Chain A
């Protein structure tokens, strides 16, 4: 009896211990799960806060730049208006003087219009899908140089394009042609802005293997004043001084930033900026136009293996 009782008590204890262990394990697992969940939530929350703060900083920077880009043409418009008001009261004024003020006002208002178009484009590029298609960079670079040569303010500068043809022609790049043209043209405008009449601006396009990837590298370099170090960080921002919104729009959405853009820093001043364009191979290559969101393009671009045939 005593033995039986002892055994019964032991089973009871054993069951109790098992139950306790199971309950303890369950409670422990619950708390562990809750801790992990809370940690995940906290990390996600912190990341979201960081992203929101970053977004706010970017937005504020863009507003400051917008203010900066608008103030010069508006100053020109106001001054031309004041000049015209005085000229029309003066009977001795020649039509040429009036025409000069009207031209200045016209040019300034066009610049404001262009800025607004950039803003529209910025909003558009942020939201829409990109029409990816193979783009011949040789034609595009030559077109950009041709446009830059005839742009106002480019007088006297020597603008040359060097596009690699040997040992083979540049492979096509996947992107949207007008956005790519806009990006290269914008870099050229920047080079023109920061250089003088006797300076040389060079656009060089060639194929390079960087890291594990093959790239079409487009470089814009000039012998001008360069971009001060203090402004170099902001040079790729939206509506940044000189470079403008079109460059940034295209950089952000035509190809992915980590594989899409780079700059070469020279001591003190930056005179050379280059775009790295993923070649139109692998997933992005196709016989016809392929429409896909820019973000999905970014991933295959980053992970593209280096086994592309030489």
Chain B
């Protein structure tokens, strides 16, 4: 069930999926990509393995016997365990996606995924989890440089003392970009996250939401303080972000 753990600096990734064919292919791929791995065939085994080995990242399938991926995530967060979690969700389940992010998953991927994408997401999650303070994915309040503050629970945002009026989609976009600070997020990914579209059926919707955020923030796209455009690809939130629990 487990590859050699021993003294090794490579990050330890737990993959939990009840599907043997997924474990049999994804686990060796992750190993070849430079990770140590633990495989778990159901949610309860995953919880036990997490307690035993404290992996750097967990990749959990949503549908599993014993305890499903979301249940494992809930139990971890309930125990104040902030290990980064990447959920493997069902295609087309926009509710599931929203719930995954709201319940404290650091990211999610739809099956069938490109394994390189999985590796990229694991690395991104590992980079983010290296910071001090509350992990961004689980922080109630996100504070960015230049006075931008987002209350994720109250769904409100401020720039300095001034409260920003943002549409719900715009707010979710801002929140997603801030949580994934310093990552290039492709337009197609944003489209999938915010609108639930699997294919790039046109990314104008994303661009108009980014334009809305820039207008609200009073940002100059040629000299951005927060949201940088990566030509032909997507967007990156460039300002430093700090997560807090929101309790003063």
Contact = CB atoms under 8 A, between A and B. Distances in A.
B90 A71 contact: yes
30 contacts: A67-B90, A67-B91, A71-B111, A72-B19, A72-B22, A72-B111, A73-B21, A75-B22, A75-B25, A75-B113, A76-B19, A76-B21, A76-B25, A78-B114, A79-B22, A79-B25, A79-B26, A82-B29, A82-B116, A83-B25, A83-B29, A83-B32, A83-B115, A86-B32, A101-B28, A104-B25, A108-B25, A194-B65, A225-B65, A241-B63
A111 interface: yes
Q: Bin chain B's interface residue count.
A: 20 to 34
B107 interface: no
Contacts of A68: 63, 90
A74 interface: yes
A74 B110 CA distance: 12
Contacts of B90: 64, 67-68, 71
Interface SS, A side:
helix
A153 interface: yes
Interface string B97-129: 000000000000001111110000000000000
Interface string A53-82: 000000000001001101111111111101
B28 A100 contact: yes
Contacts of B115: 78-79, 82-83
Contacts of A71: 90-91, 111-112
Interface in A192-211: 194
Given A68-B90, A72-B111, 7 more contacts: A64-B92, A72-B22, A77-B112, A78-B114, A86-B32, A107-B21, A153-B20
Contacts of B25: 75-76, 79-80, 83, 101, 104, 108
B224 to A, nearest CB: 35
A13 B24 CA distance: 98
Contacts, number: 71
Interface of B: 19-22, 24-26, 28-29, 32, 42, 63, 65-66, 90-92, 111-116
B28 A72 contact: no
A78 B28 CA distance: 13
A20 interface: no
Contacts of A156: none
Interface string A241-252: 100000000000
A163 B113 CA distance: 46
B48 to A, nearest CB: 15
Contacts of B66: 225
A309 to B, nearest CB: 46
A75 B112 contact: yes
A72 B114 contact: no
A271 to B, nearest CB: 12
A153 B112 CA distance: 22
Nearest to A93: B32
Contacts of A82: 29, 114-116
Interface in A81-118: 82-83, 86, 100-101, 104, 107-108, 111
B92 A67 contact: yes
Contact of B24 (A76, A86, A228, A241): A76
A86 B63 CA distance: 30
A153 to B, nearest CB: 7
Nearest to A63: B92
A231 to B, nearest CB: 9
A225 B42 contact: yes
A68 B88 CA distance: 12
A74 B19 CA distance: 12
Contacts of B63: 68, 241
